[in-house]
Homo-oligomer: A and B are copies of this chain.
Amino acid sequence: MLKMYGFWRSAAAFRVRMACNLKAIAYEETMINLDAGEQHAPDYVALNPQAVVPSLILEDGTLLTQSVAILEYLEETHPTPALLPADPVSRARVRALALIWAADHHPLIVPRVRSYLRDTLNVAEADRTLWIQHWFSEGLRIGEARMHGDPLTGAFCHGNAISLADLCLMSQVMGAKGFGVNIAGYPTINRIVDNCLALDAVTRALPLKQPGAPAAH
């Protein structure tokens, strides 16, 4: 069975959980408490020098890191159901949308960046919150602009099948909600999120459904 090191709140771990569920890949998740700094424990850093989650351990002990690289690996080794379309241009559109969120916006709000803002730049808490909300909003604004009115957009980010883009969008939207971002102004994104949330494979992977998460209220 695949072994994953994750954390309930981690957007990147959430993406991998959704992919595993959609593809019916069994995995076991060990939680690395990012709030308690467990990602900096020597044993974990020896495994993953970046001190981030997720880390995925294959059955032969091989380590995989970086959620988007893991998603591509799962797609290549468990192609059904496909999370990438068949033709190269469509695949490029899905990957571009995925990377708008996973590469260009999510890394701006992760714990190591928030810590640098607080500890090195002495940015006050209110301004750190505005930073987080700004970059979440920017990622959603740009995604909406790319998808709204584009005939390639369907029930999901690309057509009517869930793809890697939707997994990255879901992780970004759940993060945005967690940090109090108003997401009302993105109708295309809200429609897609509703369609994702209709899937059991997605809801089982939600951050607040994981061990260690605060009780839903």
Contact = CB atoms under 8 A, between A and B. Distances in A.
Interface of A: 49-50, 52, 58, 62, 64-66, 68-70, 72-73, 76-77, 88-89, 91-93, 95-96, 98-100, 102-105, 107-108, 112-113, 116-117, 120-121, 123, 127, 130-131, 134, 138, 142, 145-146
Number of copies: 2
Majority SS of interface residues in chain A?
A: helix
Nearest to A77: B88
B103 A116 contact: no
A103 B103 contact: yes
A107 B108 CA distance: 7
Given A66-B95, A66-B96, 8 more contacts: A49-B146, A62-B89, A70-B92, A72-B95, A73-B91, A102-B103, A108-B113, A121-B123
A99 B65 CA distance: 10
A153 to B, nearest CB: 13
A131 B142 contact: no
B76 A88 contact: yes
Given A65-B96, A103-B68, A89 B121 contact: no
Contact of A64 (B92, B123, B130): B92
Contact of A99 (B69, B73, B112, B146): B69
